[in-house]
Amino acid sequence: MNNDPRGTMFQQGDIMRINNAYVEDVSCSNNSSGSILVSYAVREPGQAVSIQQIRLNLNRQTTVTNAAGQNSCICCIRKGMWVNVGFSPAMTRSIPPQSNAFWVAIQRTPQVPVPPVQPVPPIQPLPPVQPWPPVQPLPPVRPWPPVAPLPPRPPVQPIPPRPLPPRPPVRPTPPQRPSSTTTGRIARIDFNNRYILLGSANNPNDQTRFNISNATVFTNRFGAPIRFGDLRPGQMVRVAHSNAETLSIPPQSAAFRVQVL
């Protein structure tokens, strides 16, 4: 009998338990009530083991689970199964005794029997706490010696003003060249000899020659600078030029500024 996998009955808290109980018989009238007859092992003196039985009554309050841990019905318990049961410690004096089952867990195969829970030994009281020695008062703090006053700061010497460097002499504004303004259409441009003719293209008597120098300024109608090479015959221009003219035909004058209109 020592190899029998039946477990023993033991108490765990407020319930009785049997692990690896063998289902000897099943009585199930409907899915709400019934009973199972299970057998379990009882250890006798001298390492002998006897088999005893107990009838467990099942009702709607009894939880039944299958081997996968899922809820099952009361009538699903079959004769020859191995179950773990928890039931009330209140038992009848009948043969076999009866009790109300709290839960039934169906097992695929009998598990290693769980030994009865050993009572936890009482906790030994801790030794009394020794009082800490009284705290010694700190010695009085000695006052710091008085701080000597700082010596007076010497007066700040004013920084002597530095003389400004002499300003360069102002150059006199060169006298403005007397000029006149002539407006007309360009009749001819000579880029090699650097002059332009204003007036009638076919009548030299109605022409004026304006000589171009490196100081001559050229602008478009918006006042933006342009080059001498940007001028074209037929353009209307306004020429600011010297008042001095030659007596040649056509008369000549020095151009100061040429603006395209």
Q: What is the pLDDT of residues 194-233, one digit of tens each?
A: 999 998 888 888 899 999 999 999 999 998 999 999 999 9
3-state secondary structure of 157: coil
Mean pLDDT of 41-52: 86
Task: Give the burial class of 83: count Cβ atoms within 10 A of its Cβ; 0-12 exposed, 13-18 middle, 19 or more buried.
Answer: buried
Task: Report d(CA 140, CA 4) in Å as an integer.
Answer: 83
Tokens of 12: 């765990």
Predicted local confidence at residue 120, as pLDDT? 52
Comparing C-alpha atoms, which of 150, 71, 127, 80 is closest to residue 104?
71
Query: 92 or 202: whose pLDDT is higher?
Result: 92
Tens digits of per-residue pLDDT, 11-20? 998 999 999 9
Q: Does the structure show a pLDDT above 70 at 184? A: yes
ω before 139 within 30° of 0 (cis)? Answer: no
Q: What is the mean pLDDT of the chain?
A: 87
Q: What percent of the chain has pLDDT over 70?
A: 92
pTM tops 0.85: no
**What confidence tier does 117 reach under pLDDT thresholds 50, 70, 90?**
very low
Predicted local confidence at residue 1, as pLDDT? 47
CB 88 within 8 A of CB 11: no
Tens digits of per-residue pLDDT, 131-149? 888 888 888 888 888 888 8
Q: Does the structure show a pLDDT above 60 at 115? A: no
Lowest mean pLDDT among 93-97, 115-119, 180-184: 115-119
Q: Does the structure show a pLDDT above 50 at 22? A: yes
CB 211 within 8 A of CB 252: yes
What is the greatest pairwise CA distance in the chain?
A: 162
What is the bridge-based pairing of β-strands 48-58 and 98-107? Answer: parallel
Mean pLDDT of 115-125: 60
Residues 6+ apart with CB under 8 A from 235: 185, 186, 260, 261
**What confidence tier does 177 reach under pLDDT thresholds 50, 70, 90?**
low
Predicted local confidence at residue 2, as pLDDT? 60
Lowest mean pLDDT among 84-98, 144-158, 220-234: 144-158
Tokens of 19: 């692990």
Q: Which helix (H) or strand (E) segment is 217 a member of? A: strand 217-219
Predicted local confidence at residue 133, as pLDDT? 86
Q: Does the structure show a pLDDT above 50 at 51? A: yes
User: What is the distance, to the nearest Å, from the Cα of residue 187 to the centroid of all Cα atoms in its chain?
Assistant: 77
CB 185 within 8 A of CB 195: no
Query: 96 or 45: whose pLDDT is higher?
Result: 96
Lowest mean pLDDT among 104-113, 173-182, 188-197, 208-217: 173-182
Lowest mean pLDDT among 108-117, 140-149, 241-250: 108-117
Task: Give the burial class of 219: count Cβ atoms within 10 A of its Cβ; 0-12 exposed, 13-18 middle, 19 or more buried.
Answer: middle
